[in-house]
Amino acid sequence: MVNLEVGFVLRSLAIAFDLFGIEGRVRLPDSGSAALLAGLGLAPAGEWSLPLVIDIGGDAGPGGRPAPAVHAVRDTPAAEQAPPAPAPEQAPSPKGPSPDDPSLADLVRLNRTHLFPGPPTPLDSGIAPTAHPSTEATSWAEVMWRRNSGRMPRGLLGMNGRLRRMPAHWLRDAIDWLSVPPPGAVPREVFDAVRVTAVVQAVDGFEDGIHRIRDGRAELHREDAAAALRLEREYGYPLGPEAGCDIRHASGLWFLTARPRRIVDAFGPAGWSALQYACGWALHGLSLSAAAYGMFARPVRAFNEIPVQRLLDLQEDEMITLAAVVGTPRHASGALLDIRL
């Protein structure tokens, strides 16, 4: 999940840099990244993923390594982070997993093998160059304000939504935003191996059912007016008194799938992290496209894998890396900070 979120943040930075006319370059984790954690004072190192480094303007530092501006993501939720430590002699015992925890040690060991050799690459614009204009959002400020994850009101769990007839250009716009490749040679190549499947309903010019996204177009795979309803039955957080679940009313259910064994065979261990970066990057774009049309976008990893694999006619070794529920919210929730967006 950490590297999926890194992909979201990377796309957000790319868009911000473009809008403000800032040039940037990104260095994916390499052989010097673990030492960088110590240099930044991020301890214990086992609670941190390897950082991505963003160079803002100027030349790279010695050895091609960009200077300052570092972005790192912590493996533990913010709510679990300990307060600033007192002086060393008064420091309390470390919180969280023991350094001797074999599962944590194994996780860290694997993370440290996900390296991307090579020089920094330009942080290209994350904005879809062929994005279709929306009639609902008039500025980037409006798009950012409209971002919405379909939250329930009054602190309830889950999502809320209502089915709305959507124009064909909404679907084309969403595909254009999804299709922008991530920065870095390996993430780009891995992204080419990702299959995008969309279950759409009530969209002008498109049959209700399962569509494969190929070459920037939605191609009908199987007509199925009840596909969204069946997918709701396979969602891990069902409708209940304390939780909303309006997957059945979504205009689009998007699934980014891949065959992990093939990716690791082709790109080594780093292929796994590249897959997460790429899918997070792609769905951040989908979230912005949805916001421009007054819709919510909720990235999720909560569908029951095997039943959904069969519903979507995926291969036996094809894994759902990330999915998103996109629809029209019943309740506005503008300006709510949500890392999924």
> Using one digit for the tens of pLDDT, what is the confidence trace for 8-38?
999 999 999 999 999 999 999 998 888 888 8
Amino acid identity, residue 101?
D
Structure confidence at residue 80 as a pLDDT band (50, 70, 90) = very low
pLDDT at 90 (0 to 100): 36
pLDDT at 63 (0 to 100): 40
With 50 as the cut, is the pLDDT of residue 250 above it? yes
pLDDT at 69 (0 to 100): 36
pLDDT at 298 (0 to 100): 92
Instruction: Measure CA 306 to chain center.
Output: 22
With 90 as the cut, is the pLDDT of residue 254 above it? yes
Q: How far apart are CA 80 and CA 154, in angstroms?
A: 24
Q: What is the mean pLDDT of the chain?
A: 84
Structure confidence by residue, pLDDT tens digits, 203-225: 999 999 999 999 999 999 999 99
Query: Can you give the residue ranges of every domain in the chain?
Result: 24-122, 140-327
With 70 as the cut, is the pLDDT of residue 100 above it? no
With 70 as the cut, is the pLDDT of residue 88 above it? no
- State mean pLDDT over 159-181: 94
pTM of the model: 0.84
The answer to whether residues 245 and 238 touch, using CB atoms and an 8 Å cutoff, is yes
With 50 as the cut, is the pLDDT of residue 165 above it? yes
140-327 is classed CATH 3.40.109.10: yes
Tell me the C-alpha to C-alpha distance, in Å, between residue 66 and each of 3, 57, 58, 270.
21, 9, 9, 21
Structure confidence by residue, pLDDT tens digits, 139-164: 888 787 778 888 888 778 888 899 99
With 60 as the cut, is the pLDDT of residue 128 above it? yes
- State mean pLDDT over 40-48: 83
Residue 30: both structure tokens together: 């390499």
% residues pLDDT > 90 (the chain): 58
List of E strands, the chain: 24-27, 52-56, 70-71, 121-122, 157-158, 195-200, 209-214, 217-223, 243-244, 252-258, 296-300, 319-327
Report the SS3 class of residue 218.
Answer: strand
pLDDT at 253 (0 to 100): 98
Amino acid identity, residue 247?
I
Q: Is the bond into 260 cis (omega within 30 degrees of 0)?
A: no
Residue 143: both structure tokens together: 């798009």
